[in-house]
Structure 1
Amino acid sequence: MSAAPISLADVTSAADQTYRWSPNGFLRAYEAGAFDARVELIDGEVVPVVIGEWHGETAFRIGGILRDVAGGIVTGSTLSAGDSLPDPDCWVRRAGAEPAGQLSDRLSVWKPADVLLVVEVSDESVMRDLTVKPAIYGSAGYPTYWVITRDAIYEHTDPTAAGYRTRTEYRRGERIGLRYAGTELSVGELLGPVD
């Protein structure tokens, strides 16, 4: 007998009671089909993932551009980061890298040196992507984190235990360095057409 799916209203109610999910507890619930929507674990809190048209199109465009650049494997899988299990829109791992461990049969843990770039396409979640997630990805030791909005790319580098030391904003007409590949990309091409 399986349990009834947990609705987002139930998750919100649980969050109001300051329940903190562990990565293992979240994974067990997720893999058992307990959630009725796409969610991610951010600092012990279950957060809904909302993907609109602009977000979806931009994420696929970024993934395609990154796949065309040699030097890594582009994926959209959940990326373990401390006590969080965020779902970046895409991230790049070193070709030939082996997992450092397993959280479940379907979810690996990766060494920070093997995670070359983490990308969040940010529309509805821009504040969380620019404040909470840099702390999560930086403290995990991931070297470069991009937040892509409709107008700019915010590159976070120099990870520390508290986040990143450096955040640089790039706009259309500029180029952003793809550090792990030793090349640069057009910000306008990454952002796509102007609405």
Structure 2
Amino acid sequence: MIKYICSVLWGIGHILSSVFFGCLISLVLMGVLCLLPRLVVMRYRWEITGIGALVVFVLFAWFQATLLVGGIKVKGLVPTTQEIEQLVKALPAGINASSPLDANQWAAIEQEIEKQFPLVTPFLGSVRKELEGIRQGGMQQGGIQLARFSRQIHRAINYYILRRILWLLGGLLVVGVFLGHDATRQGRQQQRRMQMDYFT
């Protein structure tokens, strides 16, 4: 019971720290976007469309940055090949890292990984497709299969992290272009006003 409570508190701590650092990242990106229009036009006036775009971006960036930080934290918790081999040794007799593993043995290994490393569980779904290839990869030793399995988990998490970064950069680019265009439009209007004031 105490172990369960500790693991729940540990998980909540990871979630809260991911939310906190995600918030910090989104605020930094918001600061960058707030400076951008001022670089184009010194007297930039924030209008409702610009404020709305900024608010939507901050919420979007907070969500993506939280997932990004969470992905980085989970990557540090991925079991190494040696840790997976130790799990295998602790499993019932019949699973041996020196001989090829069948589908039932893989299922037992997956269940044990889900138990010991619960934060990795969401990424096992994308690894399952690759598992078919690993299982059908001939009569490889279980140790080689486990090393490939560990690499596939790392690859799935790296791809997840890359997607979060691309979403953040894409959102930053879209809102940056919008605010830059808005600042350019305001700059042209200000120039026209100055010219009209000059000639009147």
TM-score range, shorter chain: under 0.3
- Higher share in strand: 1
Higher relative contact order (CA 8 A, sep 6+): 2
Q: How high is the TM-score relative to the length of structure 1?
A: 0.22
Larger Rg: 2
